[in-house]
Structure 1
Amino acid sequence: MDNRVVITGLGITSSLGHSLDEVSSALAQGQSNIQLQEDNKQFGFQSLLQAMIPPQNKYKIERRKKRFLSESAIYTALCWLKTVDENNLDPQQFTGPDVGIILGNDSSAQPLEDLVATLQKYKETHFLGSTMVIKVMNSCCSMNLGPLIGAQGINITASANDASGAHALGYAFNLVKSGKQQAIITGGFQELHWIAMASFDALGIFAQSLEPKTACRPFDGERIGTVPGGGGALLVMENLERAQRLGHKIYGEVIGYGFNSGDKSVAQYERCMRKALHNAKIDPNDIDYINANASGIAADNLEAQAIYNVFGPQTFVSSTKSITGHELWMSGASEVLYSLLMMRDGFIAPSLNFQQNNDIPHINIVTETLQRKPRTVLSNTFGLGGTNACIIIREY
């Protein structure tokens, strides 16, 4: 018999803040931290916009351990410390072979700048030391978190560009549901280093605007591109029996995971959402909120049409990317976390800067904070290159 899978811990590092309450408040107020990143001028960026992560001093990583950590891996370690602290979890309960780690990440560009600088200065590879080989791997996040926690089950990184975090959650869900793992620490992470963002800027997909607060306009007919964001989102998944036995707080239940790949099209997006619904054994009418993938680019129209085809005009829809920017590799995980905070605190966050779009069917886009608890949520992630993932969560 399949296990029920619940989420019992959340940890976040994002442009909206460093605690769950800070992030929930920013979502409810539609308060973004998108700013101009002037440092990127020197690298010839077309867009200077970025969702900036505020500084924090509460959580510290030992200097000895930090030597092995890339930017994304630092976010990972911080998120684990926050998860334990904010959710009153006992770290000893997440050691051993029944607990695994599956994280979403698709770059480790930040250490490459140090690597190249070292080779140019010393002309010999041995000056790179023993830590560089770990820091430049996409799996740096999961590779370091395992020993930090003491988890000895599965330890892998899902690399699927924008859908990395969502697929990490989906894989974790399947393994806990099947009983192959009792608990999995999962999530997604995104570095903000300029090397990680330069190739995206070259595509012209970042909004070229000097007005940070109105630059990101998902679904809007006058949208001009997305805005990069980053940080990390960590979620603890456990089977229900274990969570109850250990007395863990339950934020919500994961009930569905749909995935596919192919061309960016209405048909593919629609198929992915229907697969998630089928996996969850629910009907479209059971979904009362969709956290859309829309980020302010051309493909927003495709998603709008696919949502209309599956759900019609009534289901509430918004894109938290209008507040956070596009958090890329972490977005599929962070947007599930944001949805769980809305579920906890009884509101639906607005889709900022949407006015009208005559090229899409009428879907119920929330433009101002709605004081209504979402009880069953679909979170869409449609990645670059056509890798798609949809996660369904519901109130427990």
Structure 2
Amino acid sequence: MSLPYKVAITGIGAISVLGITLDEISNSLKQGKSGIAIDPERTELGFESPLTGMIRGFSSKDWLNKKQRRSMPDYTIQAYAASVQALSQSGLKSEDIQNDESGLIFGCDSSCIAALEQVNLLTTRGATSLIGSGTIFRSMTSNITMNLNTLFKTKGAAWTISSACSSGGHAVGQAFNLIASGQQERIICGGAQEINWQSMCSFDGLSAFSTRISNPQQASRPFDSERDGLIPSGGAAAIILERYDLAEKRGANILGFITGYGFSSDGEHLAVPSDTGLARAGAKALKQAGLYPSDIDYICAHATSTIAGDAAEAQNIKSLFNGCSPRISSTKSMTGHELWMSGASQVVYTTLMHQGGFIAPNINLKSIDSNSEGLNIITKTDNSGPRNALLNSAGFGGTNSCLVLSF
């Protein structure tokens, strides 16, 4: 389907377990450096797995004052910081985004810690009037866009997409569609995920997490025959998307393009992904981009290091790319599973790969799983960047998002 406008990426930003600046993140990707560690508190609390992605060196106080932070949990402040990074890179000034043609769309599917905080405050203080006004906003899933809208004073789109682990991918995809169709001129989009034990305790109880605690940095093993589960992670990623003709006119540095967005749902199982869902979404994304499978030279895989998930994605890739051999890696081998953030962080990571002229490795792949045999999975840094990349993300309930990035 042909759309009226091309959509350019003019800025990226992230607060990640791989680093809190773009240079740090790019270096970690290139070096295959893991951001996974053991959380001692989870060990003390009786978690089956104390493993988690860990953000180091980030202080909320460096970005916002106490009054501003009152209505914002950590992940929203990280989303703000990532957005400021992206806006700075884009060259857009405050007045350029304070209008009806500038919007905000982020992916986020829960706000666990804030809801628990208000219950604890009530228990401690003994009256609802003593909880504080900021807590109602902190506990809303739309917390990111409502706060960023107030801070940046954008007047266009302002909403949050909730679709499990494909939330970030769908947020970028919808932003792309709104700009490509002429409904918005520029959008700050992305995804964020809280990192705390409170949001992960029930998930841990499902035995879904890796228990390879003897070497945390080798615990996330997408496509490996000895993988034993994912590692929870998070942070925030932000992308500035603009109508290409307007970005070019103002002399913006064009980092790349979103050229296709595809989506699908499995319509099958609540937690087990299908063998067709991602392939159908990928086919839609390729069609919109006007590309064939043979045009894709890199797949940033969703692969989270779970037995069923990696196997299903491998089958989907084989089905869509039958006869083709694009390079494949899962950045989750280094970051762990960034959940609601992951579809957006893939855009940041892949753009950094293009800028640096490399493909990040799928680390910890020692013995390829039989379901993944025949795939061109990169285990060492490839010193040739992506030209056309397909980014996969999938979530509970069988919701799938695929993005095509072209450089």
Q: TM-score scaled by structure 1?
A: 0.97
CA drift of 1:42 comes to 3.5
Matched, 1:304 2:314: yes
Instruction: Specify the alignment match of 1:368 in structure 2.
Output: 380
> C-alpha offsets along residues 260-316 of structure 1, whole Å, 9 cap, x if unaligned?
112321122221111111121210001000000101102101111211122135110
Contact 2:259-2:406 at 8 Å conserved across structures: yes
Instruction: Specify the alignment match of 1:246 in structure 2.
Output: 250
Instruction: Specify the alignment match of 1:256 in structure 2.
Output: 260
Q: Give the stretch that moved more between structures: 304-313 or 282-291.
A: 304-313
| Amino acid corresponding to residue 23 of structure 1 in structure 2 | I
Distance 2:31 2:62 in 1: 26
Instruction: Specify the alignment match of 1:390 in structure 2.
Output: 402
Contact 2:11-2:88 at 8 Å conserved across structures: no
Instruction: Specify the alignment match of 2:71 in structure 1.
Output: 68
3-state SS of paired residue (2:402): strand
Contact 2:106-2:145 at 8 Å conserved across structures: yes
> C-alpha offsets along residues 341-367 of structure 1, whole Å, 9 cap, x if unaligned?
101111000001112222334100000
Distance 2:18 2:372 in 1: 30
Stretches of structure 2 that go unaligned for 5 or more consecutive residues are: none
| Amino acid corresponding to residue 145 of structure 2 in structure 1 | S
Instruction: Specify the alignment match of 1:181 in structure 2.
Output: 184
CA drift of 1:60 comes to 2.2
Distance 2:69 2:372 in 1: 48
Within 5 Å, which residues of 2 pair with 1:166-315? 166-210=169-213, 211-262=215-266, 263=268, 264-298=273-307, 299-312=309-322, 314-315=325-326
Matched, 1:157 2:122: no
> C-alpha offsets along residues 92-129 of structure 1, whole Å, 9 cap, x if unaligned?
21111110110001111121232121111122211112
Instruction: Specify the alignment match of 2:6 in structure 1.
Output: 4
Contact 1:7-1:254 at 8 Å conserved across structures: yes
Instruction: Specify the alignment match of 2:370 in structure 1.
Output: 358
Contact 2:278-2:401 at 8 Å conserved across structures: no
Distance 1:330 1:21 in 2: 19
Matched, 1:325 2:336: yes
Distance 2:371 2:296 in 1: 24
CA drift of 1:87 comes to 4.3
Instruction: Specify the alignment match of 2:104 in structure 1.
Output: 101
| Amino acid corresponding to residue 219 of structure 1 in structure 2 | F
Q: Give the stretch that moved more between structures: 150-159 or 313-322.
A: 313-322
Distance 1:323 1:249 in 2: 29
3-state SS of paired residue (1:352): coil
Matched, 1:54 2:63: no
Identity of matched residues, %: 39
Stretches of structure 1 that go unaligned for 5 or more consecutive residues are: none
Contact 2:263-2:281 at 8 Å conserved across structures: yes
Distance 2:50 2:97 in 1: 41
Q: Give the stretch that moved more between structures: 192-201 or 162-171.
A: 192-201
Q: Which among 15, 20, 25 is matched to residue 23 of structure 1?
A: 25
Once superposed, what is the RMSD of the aligned Cα atoms? Answer: 1.4
Distance 1:281 1:80 in 2: 30
Distance 1:21 1:317 in 2: 23
Distance 2:365 2:343 in 1: 22
| Amino acid corresponding to residue 258 of structure 2 in structure 1 | V
Distance 1:205 1:150 in 2: 41
CA drift of 1:86 comes to 4.2
